[in-house]
Structures are given as C-alpha cells and as structure tokens.
Amino acid sequence: MSMHKLEDLVARDRDHECEGVGASRVCVRVVGVADLPTRFGHFRIVAFWNNRDVKEHVAIVHGDVQGEAHVATRMHSECLTGDVLGSLRCDCRDQLIMGLKRIASEPCGVVLYLRQEGRGIGLINKIRAYSLQDQGLDTVEANLALGFRDDERDYAIAAHMLKSLAIRSVRLMTNNPKKVGELTKHGVEVSGRIPHVIPPNEHNRFYLETKANRSGHWIDFSGKPHLQEQGDAVMIEGANQQGQSDE
Ligand SMILES: [Zn+2]
Ligand SMILES: [Zn+2]
C-alpha cells in the first residue's frame, strides 16, 4: 500500500454523494488527512464532512487500513470533560488512551472519534445533567438526563466512515455486543471483537483506587457515581469486574 493513499481520499471524495447510511441517510466525505504523531503512537488523522450536521468527526488511523480486513477498530464518543480535562465523573479518557494504545500496537487500526458529547446531547446539556446529579439525582436518573439511549445515527456515521476508509471488515474493540449488532445493521462486517481489557498500569489508577458499590457503579474520588458515557465499561485485568455494565 502506498504511503499517500489515505491522502488520495480527499480527491476521491470531492464530489462524493451516495444514498447515505441509516434512517437519517447520512453521507460523509473525507476532506482532510494529516500526520499525527502522539504520545500513544504514530497515527494519521482523517477529517470527515457530513451532510447532516456541522460536527467534524475524525478517524485516527494507524498503519494502512485501506482494503484491509479484520481491522482493529474503536468507536469513541467525544467527552471534553473526560478526554481533555481528565474528569473522574466518567472513564472516557482512560478508554480513549487505552483505545489509541491498543490500535497503535496492531499492524493497522482506527479510532473513530465521534463528536457526540454526552451521548449526543451536547456539552451544555451534559453539564446540566451533572448539575442535577450534584443536586441528588441517582445514577439512573442522571443516565437518563445524559441521554443514554440508542442513537442509530451515530453508528450510521461510523459505518460510512469505515466504508470511506475502504475497510473491509473490523474487529471491534468493545465490551458491548450491542455495538457489534448496530454496526452490522449498517452494513459493516464485524469479523471479531477485541475485549476492552487493560492491564493494570499508571493509566488506570482511577479504577484500581475505586471500589464498586452495591449497584455496580464505580465511585470516583469525590464520592460521585461514575457514569458510563462510552456505552461500554472497561475491564481491568485481574481487577473486580463488577464495573462491567450491560449498557
Ligand atoms: Zn456517502
Ligand atoms: Zn466522559
């Protein structure tokens, strides 16, 4: 595979239009590709335009994925508070870092960074939901306030992004079999699943120093229940697996 093949997708997609994916018939175009060295490995970042909203979704690609089968794939939903600020109210940052590291360790792979803060309700609404939780809402109520529900459009965008990258089949990095079903429904061949398991290390200090309460929710250092904003809980090798949620 040519080193510059990903970059060629911008020209390929310039006039791309298709019937779209999913109920919302979302269609995406590759509009930019750049090198992205990171502390977790060397990647290229691929920017997508879509015909449904102004959100700028990106794929973080390791190695040559085009035309490949069984490509290690992680879908990550944007979380400003977790990913960037290191919030302990959720485990998004740990999951993102683990995803990037795992993908970097594979011959090739991709992290789809989906701009759906708070499961698509947006940053302001997510912070309002946090506020309700601060005022005493229980975790279930907070989950509802956070918009924890199926959003097929997200999987549809992800499915088209994978198609745009000419990925033939994916091994999906998730502990939630439902995600596999949703991608399959949108025409992505899921040839396998990579359990979302991390060995104990400096990056999961959060998990190792927390304990699960009787409802199985992780509690953060400030005593607040830990919300599963990524839709699947992470598993720690050799640690209490109670945090594994079926959501
Ligand atoms: Zn399209
Ligand atoms: Zn989060």
Among the bound ligands, the one closest to the CA of 17: 1
Ligand that lies nearest to the alpha carbon of residue 50, given by its number in the listed order = 1
Q: Which of 83, 151, 220, 232 is catalytic?
A: 151
> Which listed residue (89, 93, 102, 153) is catalytic?
153
Is 153 a known active-site residue? Answer: yes
pLDDT of 244 > 80? The answer is no
Cβ–Cβ contacts within 10 Å for residue 172, how many?
A: 24
Please name the amino acid found at residue 151: D
CATH 3.40.50.10990 fits 5-236, yes or no: yes
Q: Give me ligand 1 centre to Cα 131, in Å.
A: 39
pLDDT at residue 35 tops 90: yes
Distance, in Å, from the CA atom of 183 to the CA atom of 189, rounded to the nearest integer, reads 8
Statement: residue 193 has pLDDT above 80: yes
Distance, CA 91 to ligand 2 centroid (Å)?
6
> Hunting for tokens 């999906």 — which residue is that?
172
Neighbouring CB atoms inside 10 A of 39's CB total 7
Question: Using CA atoms, how far apart are residues 34 and 28, in angstroms rounded to an integer?
Answer: 18
Q: Which residues surround ligand 2, an ion (CB under 5 A)?
A: 79, 82, 90, 92, 229
Other Cβ atoms less than 10 A from the Cβ of 140: the count is: 12
Q: What is the mean pLDDT of the chain?
A: 83
Structure tokens at 62: 């390791």
pLDDT at 61 over 80: yes
**What pLDDT, in 10s, does the model give residues 10-27?**
999 999 999 999 988 999
The residue extents of the domains of the chain are 5-236
Is residue 241 over pLDDT 50? no
CA of 75 to the centre of ligand 1 (A): 19
Which residues lie closer than 8 Å to 239 by C-beta, 6 or more apart?
200, 207, 208
Reported pTM: 0.86
